A and B are shown apart, each in its own frame.
Chain A
Amino acid sequence: MGNKDLPMAVTMMIIFIVLFGLSFTFQSSGVLVTHTTAAFFPRVVLAVAMFLNLILIIQTLLKGPDGGAKKGIEPEAAKRVALSMVCTIAFGFGTAYLGTLVSMALFIVGIMLVWGNRNFKVIFLNALIAPIIVYLIFNKVLLVQLPAGILL
């Protein structure tokens, strides 16, 4: 036990099977009868994927539990990564509601705090300057309409 490849491979297998099943819902045209249908290629690819996954599962079972012996990362680091991801997702949502410029600034503050920076001068300057430069380049020079929420 303790081999983490196994649950992953099994999960992937289930996903592949579901996707394979979904291929039966695709539409097909009555006119282009001589052509291969939309489902043809995804099914081939999924079949190959399932075959490879099966080999992986067998390989893992034969290899036994030694794969699980790998050390995980320390909890402190894992927490940083997880919080960084939360910040990133919040940033994605923030662009739509708060606007891109504000979200960028908040994101920088968030990441720097999560990573343990307490030098507020650096945080403040980075959160102020970087977003404004990025915003100016994209919005004013490249004329990209960045999402604006209630703020900017």
Chain B
Amino acid sequence: MFEQLLTGFMTMSEPINILAVFMGVLGGMILGAMPGLTAPMGCALLIPFTYSMPPVPAISMLVSLYCGATYGGSISAILVHAPGTPAAAATTFDGYPLAQKGQAGKALGMACISSFIGGFFSVIVLVLLAPVLAKIAIKFGPPEYFALSIFGLSMISSIGSKSVIKNLLGGTIGVFIACVGMDEISGFSRYDFGITHLMDGVSFIPVMIGLFAAAEVFRQAEIGMRKVVMDRKITGLPTWKEVKSVKTTLMRSSLIGTFIGILPAEGGTVASFIGYNEAKRFSKNPEKFGTGVLEGIAGPECANNAATGGSMVPTMALGIPGSGTAAVILGALMVHGMRPGPLMFIQHANEVYAVFAGMFIANIMFLGLGLGGSRIFSQILRVPNYVLSPIILILCVVGTYALKNNMADVWIMLICGIIGYKMKAYGFTAAPIVLGLVLGQLIEISLRRSLIVFENNPFIFFTRPWSVALLFLTVLGLCSPMIRTWFDNRGARKRAKKNGDSCEGTTATCEDGLD
């Protein structure tokens, strides 16, 4: 295996291949940073150009684009509150506040380093364990997906605004929006009001761009003309000590991201939300999340890039795409005469390991480009908001249109922008709605599919091991603030007894659970 990987690196060291990876990473970063332009779209645009190329540079370029775009999404998320890719939505929570505090360089640097670590880790896993891990993907039937999506949805109670009830309500509305359009199980359209555009449902990306990016433009309108965010130093990268301080978060998110990436129906978006939530749950000071803490950037960014390597696991080892972009890459593999599946690693060992080597190089490359470029990217904050904001909005409009060449998506985006601005006054935030929308379809389909497959037996969710484990984790997660308070209080009581002091109950943490 190591020999093959070494051969792979030798193949990759040819100038043409290095160039392909570089173009992929650079193109990916640019596409990723633009709201509306996504990695699957970039890959699809590239495929015709890769016809005439040999397989190794062709596939490496697409895979590099995927890695680059997943990282690139964080740049615009941090700088202008416009998540460039869906997977970067969670990065806005802490990345944007930190940049607004004048520490854009630190936020960008942290995102870049986390992306690199997550991505690199996932490629190691991909190289070492792909065939073994692919078996997990097969173990995941409809009930497991239902349990997983419920686990994901349970996060809405803790991300978003302070009011738990409003977060839950927002999440439920998100799930409902996912119901609009053709029902996959029965084949009939719902809530389309006779509009053809709505028959395919409300896509997630326009809603996300609206709620995050367009709403932020209106918030800037509220502030009015402002010269610059920060005219002093905005470019300092995170120090080594700061990176070390988030190492547990990075490790956790790498594992989460890789695992979620391996599952065919889930991708970087869900991974990044879970990464953020777990970073918050295990943090020493969860109440600071949302104000610009480094863990809040490391958590989601590391997880979404870890999902890139993860999603290549089923793509290569099973021939089943692990994400939207992986589906396009799968198509490209077939165009080049490869048949991804269990024999892929034997029949096409040279190409496969060369592509893996290319992924390693791509991760290193965006680390270099990202860290080196963060100084340049941060300059965007020197542009006055009255110049920048309208440009962001036209990019949102054109980018959303480009998704499907559909003006209806643009209207959805603009309406969501207005709603996103207005709802803040009522104490609602975008995160739970977006999460509900991401998971809504999976929840519905996996639930109803389970009922078909297991003949309407509702207990199926409690009899399959993975499903039970995930549901248990959900309950544990929902109760964790309470459990934690209990432990803290007990600890405080013990200490109080020992010292004979009066009890100072640490009740700060119970705000999460109770409102």
Knowing A80-B222, A85-B218, the reply to whether A45 touches B179 (Cβ < 8 A) is: yes
Complexed CA–CA distance, A131 and B426 (Å):
35
A134 touches B394 (CB 8 A): yes
Give the interface SS of chain B, mostly helix, strand, loop or mixed: helix
Asked if B398 is at the interface of the complex by the 8 Å CB criterion, the answer is yes
B43 / chain A contacts, CB cutoff of 8 Å: none
Number of B residues, CB within 8 Å of A? 57
Chain A residue with the shortest CB-CB distance to B427: A5
Across the interface, do A5 and B426 meet the contact criterion of CB distance under 8 Å? yes
Residue of A38, A52, A108 touching B188 (CB-CB under 8 A)? A38
Distance between A137 CB and nearest chain B CB, rounded to angstroms: 8
Name A1-60 residues within 8 Å CB distance of B: 4-5, 8, 12, 19, 22-23, 26-29, 32, 34-42, 45-46, 48-49, 52-53, 55-56, 59
The interface residues of chain B lying within 8 Å CB-to-CB of A147 are: 401, 407
How many interface residues does A have (CB within 8 Å)? 66
CB atoms of B448 and A56 under 8 A apart: no
A115 touches B386 (CB 8 A): yes
Report the stretch among B168-176, B323-331, B338-346, B355-363 that lies at the interface. Answer: B168-176
B187 nearest in chain A by CB position: A29
Please choose the segment from B2-10, B282-290, B411-419 that sits at the chain A interface, where 4 or more of its residues have CB less than 8 A away: B411-419
Closest B residue, CB atoms, query A108: B390
B421 contacts A by Cβ under 8 Å: yes
Would B390 and A107 count as touching, CB distance under 8 A?
Answer: yes
**In angstroms, how far is the closest chain B Cβ from the Cβ of A24?**
11
Please, how many angstroms separate the alpha-carbon atoms of A142 and B391 in the complex?
A: 18
The answer to whether B186 and A28 touch across the interface, beta carbons within 8 angstroms, is: yes
Q: Identify B447's interface contact among A27, A32, A41, A117, CB under 8 A.
A: A41
Across-interface contacts of B506 in A (CB, < 8 A): none
Q: B389 on the interface (CB 8 Å rule)?
A: yes
Say yes or no: is B185 at the interface (Cβ < 8 Å to chain A).
Answer: yes
Instruction: Please determine whether B179 and A81 come into contact, CB atoms closer than 8 angstroms.
Output: no
Q: How far, in Å, is B171 (CB) from chain A's closest CB?
A: 9
Q: Which residues from A are CB-within-8-Å of B427?
A: 5
* Complex partner residue of A138 from B165, B190, B402, B456, CB under 8 angstroms: B402
In the bound complex, how far is the Cα of B217 from the Cα of A80, in angstroms?
11
Q: Are B401 and A146 touching (Cβ within 8 A)?
A: yes
Interface residues of B in 387-415 (CB under 8 A from A): 387, 389-391, 393-395, 397-398, 401-402, 405, 407, 410-411, 414
Task: List CB contacts (< 8 Å) of A50-103 with chain B.
Answer: 52-53, 55-56, 59, 73, 76-78, 80-81, 84-85, 88-89, 91-92, 95-96, 100
Give the distance to chain A from B23, nearest Cβ to Cβ, in Å: 14
CB closest chain-A residue, reference B413 = A92
Q: Is the CB–CB distance between B417 and A88 below 8 Å? A: yes
Instruction: Decide yes or no whether B191 CB sits under 8 A from chain A.
Output: yes
B218 to nearest A CB, angstroms? Answer: 5
B residues 429-474 touching A (CB-CB < 8 Å) = 440, 444, 447-448, 451-452, 455-456
Cβ contacts under 8 Å, A40 to chain B:
448
CA distance A36 to B393 in the complex (A): 42
Residues of B within 8 A of A145 (CB): 405
Which residues of chain B have C-beta atoms less than 8 A from A52's C-beta? Answer: 165, 168-169, 172
Contact A26 B218 (CB under 8 A): no
Cα of A108 to Cα of B476 in the assembled complex, Å:
50
B188, A29: Cβ atoms under 8 Å?
yes
Tell yes or no: B337 within 8 A of A by CB: no
On whether A22 and B405 interact (CB within 8 A), knowing A45-B172, A116-B225, the answer reads no
User: In the docked arrangement, what's the CA distance between A32 and B183, Å?
Assistant: 13
Top 6 A-B pairs, shortest CB-CB distance: A38-B183, A84-B221, A111-B390, A144-B402, A49-B172, A41-B444
Q: List 21 A-B contacts (CB under 8 A).
A: A5-B426, A5-B427, A28-B186, A32-B185, A35-B448, A41-B444, A45-B176, A46-B176, A76-B224, A84-B217, A85-B218, A92-B411, A111-B390, A114-B221, A115-B224, A126-B391, A131-B394, A138-B398, A142-B45, A143-B45, A144-B398
